[in-house]
Structure 1
């Protein structure tokens, strides 16, 4: 596994928009505050031209331009960490133009969530480069910073290797007034497991189920090499969904299982669904994965319902789930 260098104390942070651009005034204010906060900590922020543009469907720019702007950050020696501006629906269009050799020549931590699964999953599962499934850039602009934001930066800077889950979470997105709003403690967080308290370890891989479903159905991504290389160490699959129903979740997991995606799985971790159309998400998942006698964990701090823990794709991790909470320890090797 190629693990990118950590962000230097004076290293620059690159921001690009691989899917949607940022045009709402409150989002622009949030980004400005993020740049100010990170600048005060010694990190200059470099934004690509597509960050503040959008077409009628939400795309920040044509796919070739988005790809070129991402690669420009990868090739910039001053940039040590790249964060997506937003999620969206159109990142798959970049795959036609992406030169993965650029990432291998200049490996850097790339972070985002939701539609950013497209590039993150491909980078780790097919090209053996570790990536980060975590907040998009706007979270650095909240006031005050939530613990998840501070700890995310500490991971990127190489100053942190473990993280504890959070006691509360939001139930969805909300309209902003100033753009600087912090996280709302709307519901208590409860991590649960199919086998009670659980401890398991393995290489971490996963992302947004809406994207993984498309990867599996189309064959646009193949984790076979990753599974073959790391199955003896154990592989922890994490997933979270933006908007799926019971039937889609069942068919997806059963299909991926039948096609060998989950060979060597040592555990499954599922985030809180933003929208799930069905009676019981956990029951649906457990039935679909009934052939795997490993822990299946639900209610995780990953995905669309903030706060988000920092999930390091491709890195050895140990999950300790007990008493409704979780601790993740990472080992770089």
Structure 2
């Protein structure tokens, strides 16, 4: 069965950097995001790895793993939010004692999805794919991003509904900051390969495909063993592409397929991506069509997930119902054991 953590404001938020830390010139972003959360009633515990960054990582792998485990085992800390993602989180996995992972929320995306997916697959503890700390530094959060708090405060057995955003951010404009961090200028449109209404149900798993694909064939990507936690219920994948070319995305999806990751799969959702530039006329839409036909499953794409914000908070391990129709969509996540 899946175990769900529960967020209360009595617990502190631990900030640690199991992937990239924050260089000195950006430390004010951490302080600002922390102060915003403190105004909401949370207390903040900042780890040492947050403040350092060298050679594409916050600290050596063993140091990052030790600080993460310390926060996971602290009775004071009820939620861990890393500052952001990075590149080399996978280095820490072999130094984490998964037998000592507590049912405690971890929230993040990008490179953090390696840790999130590994924990859920190995332990059956739900993890949260959504906003990072730095993106909570605004005067307020947009409606989609702000849902992270109510999602993580839900109880086991409850269900929580989230809707597609009305607008998304096409590109960053750091020189002209927005009160809610993002510049939501483009109309959101959820699309389906079938070009008709789609409804999919299943246990959610996913993350940034650039990095979670590297769990394939390792002890941290054992989908067959994970089935014991969900009694062989179908899996509904959500995936987002940060930097892969369309051909690399295709290779990655085929690797997942050949490794058995799409066995007992009820559907796939793909997040918006700025990386979906065609290669020799080969488009992301071509890929979505092909994977839908090969697996005989529905595919929904351009959803609110990943590096083109805002993003819905997806819970790895939760049972979900998703619908998409006429450019709009919604997801109901049930905290089903």
Segment of structure 1 superposing worse, 230-239 or 112-121:
230-239
Q: Could you list the per-position Cα deviations for residues 288-330 of structure 1 after superposition, in whole angstroms to 9, with x for gaps in the alignment?
A: 3422222100001000000010000010011011221111111
SS of aligned partner of 1:153: helix
The alpha carbon displacement at 1:221 in A equals: 2.2
What displacement does 1:68 show? 0.7
Bigger Cα displacement from structure 2, 305-314 vs 283-292: 283-292
Range 109-118 or range 214-223, more displaced: 214-223
Q: 300-309 or 31-40, which moves further after superposition?
A: 31-40
Matched with 1:323 is 326
| Residues 237/90 of structure 1: CA separation in 2 closer, same or farther (3 Å cut) | same
Q: CA deviation at 1:213?
A: 2.5
Query: 1:176 Cα deviation (Å)?
Result: 4.5
Task: Rate the CA distance shift 1:176–1:44 in 2: closer, same or farther, 3 A.
Answer: farther
| Cα distance, 1:258–1:228 mapped onto 2, change above 3 Å | farther
User: What TM-score comes out, normalization by structure 1 length?
Assistant: 0.92
SS in 1 for 2:294: coil
Deviation at 1:134, TM superposition (A): 0.6
- For residue 90 of structure 1, the aligned residue among 88, 91, 107 is 88
Q: What's the counterpart of residue 49 of structure 1?
A: 48
The unaligned stretches of length 5 or more in structure 1 are: none
> SS state of the match for residue 120, structure 1?
helix
How far is 1:175 from its partner? 2.7
User: Contact conserved, 2:200 with 2:267, CA < 8 A, in 1?
Assistant: yes
Q: Provide the C-alpha distance between the structure 2 equivalents of 1:211 and 1:42, rounded to a whole number of angstroms.
A: 34
Aligned to 2:131: 135
1:86-125, CA deviations, whole angstroms, 9 ceiling, x for partnerless residues?
Answer: 111110110121111121xx21011111111211111112
Distance across 2 between alignment mates of 1:112 and 1:99: 20
CA contact (8 A) 1:210 1:242 kept: yes
The yes-or-no answer on 1:111 pairing with 2:107 is: yes
- Conserved? CA contact 2:15–2:45, under 8 Å: yes
User: Matched residues in 1 for 2:6 and 2:298: separation?
Assistant: 31
Offset, 1:232: 4.2
1:244 aligned residue: 244
Q: How many residues align?
A: 329
Q: Which whole-Å CA distance do the structure 1 matches of 2:6 and 2:229 have between them? A: 24
What residue in structure 1 maps to residue 141 of structure 2?
A: 145
- 1:135, 1:231 → 2: CA distance? 30
Local SS of the residue matching 2:203 = strand
